[in-house]
Each structure stands twice: as C-alpha cells, then as structure tokens.
Chains A and B, each alone.
Chain A
Amino acid sequence: NAGVTQTPKFQVLKTGQSMTLQCAQDMNHEYMSWYRQDPGMGLRLIHYSVGAGITDQGEVPNGYNVSRSTTEDFPLRLLSAAPSQTSVYFCASSYSSVFSGNTIYFGEGSWLTVV
C-alpha cells in the first residue's frame, strides 16, 4: 500500500545543475501533478498530467519539464537549477473523471536546496 512515492527526500544542488525528482503511484490514478510549497504561498501547481502521454503547464512551469510515459510515473526535471527553485516539492495523484471532486493524494515531499 505504497500510495504516492517521491525520491529523493532531500537534495542539494549547485546553481546550473540538472536533476530529476521521481514520482510513482500504485493506485492506477490517471491524474498526476507536481506542486511546490514556499512559505506564505501555499502550494502552487507546476505541471500536471491527465493520463499517459498527456502533460500540461500549471501556475509556475518555468524551469521545469515533465513527461508521462506510463500511468505510474511522473518525473519532474529541473533543467538548470536556480536558487529560486529552492523549495519543497510535492507530487500528487487522483482518479480523473467527470466527477472532479476526487481526493488528491500527496507524496511525502522532496526538500530541494539550490546553492
């Protein structure tokens, strides 16, 4: 009963480095998304996907790429890390359906520091 699994939990990057945050879910959810959490700003949507092969931008997509080759996985790539990307990142998933009140489940978070 893993739910939504994120790795790594903690990461320190140097400015300009690239990295990938991994996210996997075992609930057969169609919808997956990435949020970043910053103090006083709540959670902001970076990218989301409504199914394999389909991705779209959220509120703050610049500097991030995503792909959805399988239903289970939704990696988030930082192309060239900047200090402004220091944040806590959360992956989330839910069932997609016409009934959009489906609960979204969150991973435990990835703490990223860019120096």
Chain B
Amino acid sequence: AQSVAQPEDQVNVAEGNPLTVKCTYSVSGNPYLFWYVQYPNRGLQFLLKYITGDNLVKGSYGFEAEFNKSQTSFHLKKPSALVSDSALYFCAVRDNDYKLSFGAGTTVTVRA
C-alpha cells in the first residue's frame, strides 16, 4: 500500500525567508509524487510533480521540490516566501495504479 506523511501540521515563516514543507512517502512500485496547494474554500491546485529524471523539480509560483530516493522524501521548497503563499499544502503519491494518496496537509503561514 502507498502512503504519504507530512510530519508538520503547520509551518510559519517570515516573508522573504526560505520555505520548506516536508513530505516522505512509501510506495511499492515507481513513485509518482505531486504537490498541491489549497487556498481557503477552493479546490486543489497542482504545483509540481516528479515522474522521473532530475531529482530537482521546478513548478508553479516559484516552488520547487527535491526527490530523494534514499530518504524517500519529496520536500517542497521556495527560496523566498510571500504572504500570498499562505495556504494548505498537500503532498501526494500515485503508484502504478490510478489511485492518488494524500498526506494530511501542512498549513503554511507567511507573516509580513
């Protein structure tokens, strides 16, 4: 069975500081890893994904994520956070089946 863990319920950073949201995964087959962002009362928006190739993946809104196979991690990063980045972030994994498994989510708050 596949699963995703987001060890931090909340992440608080000051605007302009680096932002990291952690994610670890467990999957039996090839991992297809995703990050989604959810703003209040909205659906999930796709940020980026790792399928194969370079371990550093660049996505929307200046976000990037690093795939680390040995640590089974896929941490989301942004070099300089904005107040508008405040949202709920979900890591997800999809294996060779069609199902997408989500972590519990991490609430990011960026203070001005």
Contacts and interface: CB of A to CB of B under 8 A. Distances in A.
A109 interface: yes
Interface residues on B, range: 20 to 34
Interface string A92-105: 10001001110111
A107 B51 contact: no
Contacts, number: 62
Interface stretch (B12-20, B63-71, B75-83, B92-100): B92-100
Given A100-B95, A101-B94, A43 B102 contact: yes
A74 to B, nearest CB: 13
A48 B97 CA distance: 12
Interface string B42-60: 1111100101100000000
Nearest to A35: B102
B99 A58 contact: yes
Interface string A12-40: 00000000000000000001010100001
A45 B104 contact: no
